[in-house]
Structure formats: C-alpha cells, structure tokens
Amino acid sequence: MIDQKLAEALKDRARTGDQTALRSPELKSLFDQLKTLPAEERAAFGQSVNELRQELQSLLAGARDKQEQLPPIDTTAPFDANTPFDARPRLLDSGQGSVHPLMTELAQILDIFYRMGFTAVESREIDDDFNMFGSLNFPEGHPARDDYDTFMTVQKDKQNRPFIAPAHTSTMQNRVLKRLKPNLEKGEPIAAVIPGRVFRNEDLDARHEHTFYQLEGVYVDKGVNVGHLIAALKTFLQEYYGKELEVRTNPFYFPFTEPSFEFMLSCPFCDKKGCQICSQAGWIELLGCGMIHPKVLHAAGIDTNEYTGFAWGGGIDRLVMMKYGVEDVRYFHSARLDFLRQFA
Amino acid sequence: MKVSLSTIRAMSKRYGCAEDVAAVGVGELIDKVNAQLGGIDEIIAIGNKYEGIVISKVIGCEKHPNADKLHVCNIDDGGAVKSVERDNDGYVQVVCGAPNVREGLIVAWLPPGSTVPDTVGKDPFVLEARELRGVVSNGMLASPKELALGDSHAGLLEIDGDHKPGTDFAEAFGLKDDMVFDIENKMFTHRPDCFGFLGVARELAGIQGIPFKSPDWYRPQPELSNTETDELELYVRNELPELVPRFTAIAMRGVKVGPSPVWLQVELAKVGQKSINNIVDYTNFFMLETGQPLHAYDYDKVKTLSGGDAAAIVVRNPKPGEKIKLLSGKEIEPRPGAVMIATDRQLIGIGGVMGGADTEVDEDTTNIILECANFDMYSVRRTSMEHGLFTDAVTRFTKGQSPLQCLAVLAKIVDEIREHAGGKVASPVIDDKHLDESLGGQTLHVPVKLSADFINSRLGLGLPAKEIKSLLKNVEFEVDIKGDELTVTAPFWRTDIELREDVVEEVGRLYGYDHLPVELPKRDLVPAVKDPLLTLKTRIRQTLAKTGSSEVLTYSFVHGGLLDKAGQDKNQAFQIANALSPELQYYRLSLMPSLLDKVHGNIKAGYDEFALFELGKVHGLDQGADEAGLPREFEFTGLVVAAADKLKKQGAAYYQARKYLTELVKAPLEFKPVGEGAQKFAVVQPYDPGRAAMVHIKGGAYLGIIGEFRTSARQALKLPKYCAGFEIDTTALQKVLGGVHYVPLTRFPKVIQDITLKVPADLAYQELFDAVQNELNEHKPQNTLAELGAVDIYQPESAKEHKNVTLRLDIASYERTLTDDEVNKLLDQVAAAAKAKLNAERV
C-alpha cells in the first residue's frame, strides 16, 4: 500500500498550489516502487498511485482556481459597476441566430403528424435490455444484443444487465403502447410518433455517425391492415415533399414487425428521372416499417385477436442531407458556426 | 445472396421442380423479386465477361523454335471466328506456354479482340494477334485463373464433355444472357432456405403463382447407401448437444481428387466462388443449392491425428491455450465458447465456420469423411465475429438452418461424389441428433390454425380459403381447410412459421403486397395531443435564435478528459463499456462542458462574438432511478456567450449571459450566491463561485446556474476572457414560459424620475432594488402603474467603501395626471426608508 503519510504530505502541498507536488521525487518514488512489486500486487498498487496522482491534479486545479480567481462580482445586478452605457450587455443581431437544421426539420415533421392525428413522445437516451430488445421480440443471443453495434454502460441494472444507449427509437414502443392503451378502451386508436437521438457504435466518416436522429411511429386499432400502413406513410411523404409520389415496398426482416418492409418512394428531387440524390435509381429507400409483431403487442398487454397495428422508423439526418445537399453527416454535431449560421 | 437465373432454370428442369420461373422476362421478374421477395442490390450480366470466347480443339502442338517453354499450336475453332489468319487447313495459330497443352485437348480460346475474363472490371486486357519470340499468336488459350474460375494458373482449363469446336464458350456453359441477382441478405435473416438456389427457385415460383415441387431426394428421411466396401472406422462423440443438435457424417473410400468438370467450375464462378478440387467443389455446390453447408475431411489425416485405428471426431469446446491452423492459413486460439471439431487429440475445425488445414482434402487424398451438421446460429456468429472469419458456411448457419435437412443433403452429396469422383460408401451413416421429434421429424413447428378472415383482415383482402391454400401449396405448405378454418403445416425446411401472423406474412407476400388496397385508416375529430415538452423546446429554440444565438448539437457522450477540464467528477457519470472511440467514454453530466469545448474552435474560425445553445438530456449516477428503475433523465438548456480577446470587451461576461437568460425567461428572477453545498452538483462544477449565481424564478422554482467559469476550466478549454453561460432545467421553464402578462394601458401621462442612492459597496444590487420596490409599492398612490429599472451603478476608483446606484421610476396613474411634486415626495419617502434600513444616502 501507499505510505499514507507521504500521500497526505503531497496532498497538503497540492492544496497550497505547489505545482512541484506532481513532479516531486516522492511521487516518482511510488512509481519506482511499482516496478519492484510482485506481478499480482502491481495492478492494485498502480491503480492507487494513479488515483493519488489524479487527486493531486484536481487539488492543484482547485488551488489555481483560488489563487487566480477574478474578483467577485455582484451577480444580482443587471450590469457591471462603471460599465459605460454603450458597453452594457446587448443581444446579438437576431439575424444571425439559428435553430439547428435537424431540429427545424423535426418540428416540421411533427407538425404534419400532429395534423394527421398522431401525438408525440420523445425517446430516452439511456435504457434497459427489456425496452431495447426483450419487449421487441429480439431473442436472447440475437446479434443486435451483443455489444458490437450497441453502446452499453459499465453500470448494471437490477437484472444485472448493462444499461443501453438505444440504437433505435423502437426502444420506446413498449412504453408508448402501454401508456396509450387506454385510448383503445375508449375506442380511439393509439397513434404516436417518437422522435429521438439514437446511437450506433461505429467509426465516424462522412456518411456514418454514431449519434443520429430517428422518428418512430406506431398506430394500433381494430382492423388495421398493411394497406393502412402504406397509405399513412405515403400521405405523410406527399405532405412533406409537397407533391404526388409513388411508393413501393420491399419485403424485409425486423424482429419487431411481421411482415416487415423497406419503404421506397419515387425520388422527389428528380421525379424518377434519376439524379445524384437517388444514385440514378429514381427511387429512394427511406424507412423501415411493418405490422407490429404480435409478441410486441402482447408485451404491452394488447389483445392481438382484437387489435393490430403498424410501426415504422426512419432517420431525420438523411432527410436534411438530401434536402440541402449536406455532404458530410459529421457537420451536424460539429457546432461549427459556418455550418449552423447557413440555416439562420 | 447471389443466384444465377440460368442455374435456377436448369436446376428446376433437372429435378422437375417447376415450369420456367423466368418465363415472364427478366425485367418483370426483377420487379416481382423486389416487391415480393427482397430488394435486389445488384444485377450482374455475367455472360458479358465471356463474350467472344470459343471452344476449340488443339490439332497440332509443336515446340516453339525460339523458346523452351512455349509451344506453337494449331487450333480448330470450327471456323467460328471471322477476321483471323488461318493456315491452309483453316486452323488458327496460337502460341501457348501451359505445360499441359497437347494435341487433342479441348480448350477455351480467347481470339483477338476478346478480353481476358479475369481482367474485366479491373484493368481489362484485350487480346490481339502479336508475335511471341518471332511467332505470331492469335490470341491465347486460357487457364482457369484467366477465365476467373479458380486460382490455378498452372495450366490450361481442360474442357471435358461433349463440346464441338466452334461452340461459344458462354453459350455452352449457360453464361450467355445469364443474369445473376444479388438479393439483399438482410431480407433472408429468418429464411435460411433462401440461402440455397432451391429456396430461391421455390420463392420465384411461389410469387408468380407457379406450383413448385422439391426434388425427390430433398426429404427428411432419404434412402442412404449401405457400406459398399471395406469399412473405414469412424466415430463421432458430440459433447455439445445443445449447440450441435445434429451431426451427420459418413466415410467414403477410393475417391479420385482432381479438377472439377468445367460446368461445376462455372457454376461456382457465377456466384463468386473459386474452384479448388472436385470434392471440395461438389460440397460447395450442394451447399449453394440447398443452403446446408457441408465439409469434407481427408479420412487418413483424421485417422493419423486420432492416433489409433479409427478416425475419431469429437465435438467440443477448445481447451485453454489450444490453437488451430485454419484452411485459410491463419492460426487462431479459438474463443472458449466456440464449437470445435477435434480428433481425440487435437482440433481439426471450427464447427460451422471453417475447416482446419491439417485435415484438408488435397490431390493425394483417397478416403474422405463427409460432414453435414447443424450448429447453433448465435454461437457461430459469436465465433465468426470474434475471430473475423466470414465464410459462406457462416452466412448460412447464422440464419439457423433446419436440422431436418441434414440427412437428405448428406445422401445427395454421397451420390454425387460416387458418380463423379468415384469412391464407395465405407461406413454406416452416423446421425447424432438431439431434436424434438414429437412432430414426426417432418416439420419444425406445430401446425398453425387460423381463419381466412384472420388473414384477410390483416391484409385488407377478401381471399377465399381455397385461394389462400393454393398460394401456400405452391411453396409446399400443407393446408387443410375445415369450414372457415385452415390448418397450415410448414415444410421441414421452414424455421420461421410459428404464429398466425407468420402465415399472414407468407400469404401477403405470395399474393403481392403491391396489389393490396391502399387506404388511410378512418379517424374521428378528436384532436391529437401535442407533446408539451417538445412544444416547449421548439419555443425555447425560437426565442434563443431570435436573440442571435445558434443552436448546436453535441454528443451525449464525452471524453473523461473533458469532465476533468470542466472540474466535474468522472465517478458521477455513467461509463460506456465498449465505445470504439475514446472520445465517447462517459454519459455527460451536464451540457456546459460540451458547449465550452466548442468555443475555441469557433473563435479560431474567425467568429469574434457569438452565443451557442443546446437543449439536451443529461444523466448522473447520483441522480437516482425513476419509477421503472431506469436512470433519471434531466432536460437541460445551456447557453454560452463568448467574445474574442481582441474585442477587449468591457464589463463582466456574466452580465451578458444574464441578459440572455432574462430575455429567455422573461419572468422575474432571483440570483442567489453559489454556496459550498452546491459544489457537489455536476452542473455547478464548471463555474467560478465568486462570479456565478444560482437562479430561481422569483419566489418560485429553482432553475439552474449562471456565471463565468473557473480559472482551470478557462485555461484547459482555451476560453476567451469574455465568456459566461447558464444551464437551466428545461422542464422548470414549462410553468413560466409562454404566458403573457398583459398590463392595461393608462390614458394619463407618465412621470419619469431618477433616484441615486449611495450605498455600502458590498450591498447587493438586488437587495437595494427590492427594498426600493417594496417602499414604492407601499407608498405609491392607489391604482398606479409603476416600473422601476436600473440606470447606472457607479463606484469611483477612490471610493472603496460605497457605490452609487441610480434607479429610474416610470409611474402613471389610471385615474389622474400625477405631478412631479407628488412623485418627488414619493421618492423622498423611499429614500428615507432606504436610509433607515440599508444605510443608503440619497445623492
């Protein structure tokens, strides 16, 4: 173990702002001692030496804060004493203020869904295995559950599973279905969209972000069928792009919908002629969707003999990139004013 | 998943499965596949690669006069190629360096003008007639490598079978006009059968309403050959029945290993596989056909490594430190949970992933073991991911193949090898199985009972039961109709039909989702509820943008170093266990460190003065759990103002941040000192307590903190001198934001009077202001409208003890015109009270 006296003496020096404490022979002697220890003791000792060093650093920072403190000010006043009138606080030109383009887009999308009769609930940023996987019919051992794609915490929940940074807004489905279940009892549908920030554990490049925005939607009622799903999404997209569009579905696979589809729309930028945005295909693949899997409805206590529903999810970032021709997805989280002020 | 259309057509015809599934034409078929099977990633016109290649016969073959290793050949191309120089017999001269060139050989000739297939799409090499060491060569004769069929460059491709000189190579081998569809794998996640040509062919038939019948040999209990020759002893011990529910194997004696027939090499090449030898190629081909991976071992090598008189195969986990050299040449130490194939002495393969090098089938092999097994999909995936081994077997096993097909595929490969590579069955079939056979081994799941109405209501259709039955029968489901109820039994290869909804999916897809009636659900007039928090956030954004600030989004996760720099404690933060990037170690404790992190970059980019804000969620270990046991999430709004040092801004930046805060909140605020006790809160830690304040709604809720930042943070984050910010609880704004407090107008003129009070220097402005306000409220005439504001705070250099505060009163009555005199008297009263209570002198 570290000599307590020695450690305390070092801390005292750091408290007084003695910068040499960090480079002192005493501290160095502890690192030297580390090398002489038997292998099994080394890890624990090394850790405590590092902890001591960090503590010294933070004590020194505290001491510096005190030593180099600016004089206190009267924080209850509206401006500083003796500030000339023309140097008093003044807001910046409103013309240069800007709302983030992703948030502007999200507000527009929400507006359309509100008008279509959907309510909205924002997604969480830290969640558990049940909401992220279990309630969504991801079997134990499913590839998405392992940690190759999903951020997980060191800390564990009550089931001794790590918390999860959601990789999709579907993580809210169970909660939203349960919360809005009383609608069904009143004879009204469950109709909700769920925007939120989601995370994928991948390396960054111009087209890949580990942090991005999705919008999920759920609709449950008696007699809901696949045709309703296609019509609802088509209606939304036509409103969003302000024009008539063609849509088509490709069969797909998601654990939480059955059947599942990829949803394509005729390219709104070239009207199917082929352009850079749709890679000359004339079609854009925009969403994943499907009929909510009965196990997902069951998990929310909804009777699948009576009720069926559809769900979909899609990215917001891509909509904005296509709309403005943004070439690099990393700009969204760069906080660069040269990027942001273009959306003023 | 790549499939060649001509392969599928030929297969369907060979086995009598179905009428031509491509009769509608390629264009329409593509549309149908996209709409009813899965998105097509790519369509490859594979025949283009082989354009102009002619099957020819070597008539004469003589040594090159000027080169030892070259031959000068005369070839017969049946006169197929026009513009080429011919001798009197009509033969064409080609120089060839391959060691196996000889008279009578049937070869692939690449005439002048054709392109070497292996170079297509890379750096195309177009042939011509040119001299080689003084002898003209008209094009070349091709090796398997040049034809993109295999890696072998050792000699010419020797074409077997009955092919007349002059036949077009592409036409002879089903390449001409062939299309290879690459269908998105993701679609087939739950369709292991579609990783075989058979499965795809069946679907192509099904989505066109064409009945499909699997080949006779593809059935759960096939006929198997008995031992036909001297037995080769083979034992299998499966120690992992949970992960390996079925392991079948058989030994064969006397096989002849050699190059595969050309048709087989071509079939593999179409889907991007290289030919290795006939045994390996046949096992690969039947994997491609059925989706069921197979593996061939050299029996004698296994036996030697077993160290006895018999080949012993053990299925087990690896022992600590155990290693294996793989077919790919790579040596690995498999993960502890991996399913390994071993002898009783050493590892010889990773089950379902890749075989080992030590038991490889090579040209000297005569006896083989064929394995056809079933492995747990998740275990295979973990092993594949952990060791970065991605093989065709992995692709197929990770979808969960049906264990009911193992024997059929084993029986088929035995027959094929016996017929095409010689060899006789030399052991009984070993069938180690651990399956639930309560359903008779004919299907994997209990038959699904459902009504036609159940299906129709979910698809918006009105299909009669008979039509549903016919759609399903086309892809070999068994369907019994009793009244309105259907009993649907899935064929043995289908792993995905458990629930009624699974049948709905099947019917919808076979019918065609693109043919469903599309209409919006009907709704009533109940208005949708807008989410209050999202609505509030939109409002905050708009308000702050109006003040000239820019909204930013920064990551929810931060580097531990950023928390250190901001004076926050990492141990309070949720830690990410598996981030690829070191930038993402912790959930952030508050927004401010991330905002401060973005200040320096923008100043460097030339922005001298700006305000950045963010609305985000924060998390901390000390924040407790919500009712569901999840970490509580807090919604914060943070804003930072900054001005570059070169602007030499006067006054404290604090007041600038305060200006923004009051502009946002608009309700009266209270600014209280940051006490020692508050230092434990992460949101407070970046601030300098002497130049920061805790903010409350006046007489109400706590909002957050505002201030300048501690010296260590300013230095570490390279902040300019003029920099301050605030961070407040977004949800606490809910109650105060957006309400408009209208004050009725008065028609009487207002009187404006200033009052300057000399007060002790350490008296807080707010205290003085509140005292004055209270006095005013007490003494002002009834029914008046009075507004108090700050004009100036002045503290001369010389006066350490006191300061002068000038306040301005705007006052008007609703009833009459106030006189200056009256207001002066009011201020006298205020001044007297201020003197009594605060020791303030009126100046």
From 3.30.465.10, 1.10.10.410, 1.10.10.10, 3.30.930.10, which CATH number describes the B532-733 domain? 3.30.930.10
Give the closest-approach CA distance of A38 to chain B in angstroms.
24
Does domain B234-433 fall under CATH 3.90.1720.10? My reply is no
Segments in chain B below pLDDT 70:
738-739
Could you read off the pLDDT of B411-449 as tens digits, one per residue? Answer: 999 999 999 999 999 999 999 999 988 888 899 999 999
- One fold for both B2-45+178-206 and B448-515? yes
Kindly list the distances between the CA atom of residue A220 and the CA atoms of A231, A249, A288, in Å, as whole numbers in the listed order: 15, 20, 17
Listed residue (B650, B657, B681) closest to B671, CA to CA: B657
Listed residue (B419, B594, B492) closest to B219, CA to CA: B492
What pLDDT is stored for residue A19 in this prediction?
Answer: 80
Annotate B257-270 with b (16+ C-beta within 10 A) or e (fewer): bebbbbebbbbbbb
CATH number of B448-515: 3.30.56.10
What pLDDT is stored for residue B638 in this prediction?
Answer: 98
Q: Measured between CB atoms, which of B187, B567, B587 is closest to A61?
A: B567
pTM of the model: 0.89
CATH number of B48-172: 2.40.50.140
For the purposes of burial, counting CB atoms within 10 Å of the CB of B737, is it exposed (0-12), middle (13-18) or buried (19 or more)?
Answer: middle
Kindly list the distances between the CA atom of residue B637 and the CA atoms of B344, B557, B597, in Å, as whole numbers in the listed order: 65, 17, 16
Listed residue (B822, B841, B828, B820) closest to B752, CA to CA: B820
CA atoms within 13 A on the CB side of B30: 12
From 3.30.70.380, 2.30.110.10, 3.30.1330.40, 3.30.70.20, which CATH number describes the B751-842 domain? 3.30.70.380
What pLDDT is stored for residue A147 in this prediction?
Answer: 61
What pLDDT is stored for residue B746 in this prediction?
Answer: 93
Q: Is A112 on the interface with B (CB under 8 A)?
A: no
Domain boundaries, chain A: 4-67, 101-343
What pLDDT is stored for residue B738 in this prediction?
Answer: 65
What pLDDT is stored for residue B425 in this prediction?
Answer: 96
Q: Are B807 and B754 in contact (CB under 8 A)?
A: yes
Does domain A101-343 fall under CATH 3.90.1150.10? My reply is no
Interface contact B712-A61, CB threshold 8 A? yes
What pLDDT is stored for residue B567 in this prediction?
Answer: 93
Residue B440, both tokens: 């008779």
Distance CA A90, CA B373 (A): 76
Listed residue (B663, B654, B747) closest to B705, CA to CA: B654
Query: At which residue do the structure tokens 């011509």 appear?
Result: B128
Q: Chain A, 290-329: which have a CB under 8 Å from a chain B CB? A: 291, 293-294, 304, 308
What pLDDT is stored for residue B583 in this prediction?
Answer: 87
Domain boundaries, chain B: 2-45+178-206, 48-172, 234-433, 448-515, 532-733, 751-842
Q: Is A160 on the interface with B (CB under 8 A)?
A: no
Contacts of A75 in chain B (CB under 8 A): 654, 658, 671, 673, 691-693, 706-707
Q: Measured between CB atoms, which of A120, A227, A285 is closest to B517?
A: A227
Measured between CA atoms, the residue of chain B closest to residue A198 is B556
For the beta carbon of residue A93, count every other beta carbon within 10 angstroms. 10
Contacts of A203 in chain B (CB under 8 A): 580-581
CATH number of B2-45+178-206: 3.30.56
Amino acid identity, position B649:
K
ipTM: 0.90
- DSSP string for residues in B656-693: HHHHHHHHHH-S-EEEEE--GGGGGSTTTTTEEEEEEE
Angle formed at CA A330 by CA A326 and CA A332, multiple of 5 degrees: 70
Q: Measured between CB atoms, which of A99, A147, A155 is closest to B545?
A: A99
Is the bond preceding A101 in cis, omega lying within 30 degrees of 0? no
Q: Is A157 on the interface with B (CB under 8 A)?
A: yes
Q: What is the mean pLDDT of each run of 10 residues along chain A (344 residues)?
A: 82 84 82 80 82 83 79 90 88 94 97 97 95 91 72 92 94 97 95 96 88 97 96 97 94 92 94 91 93 97 96 95 94 96 93
Query: At which residue do the structure tokens 């038997």 appear?
Result: A38
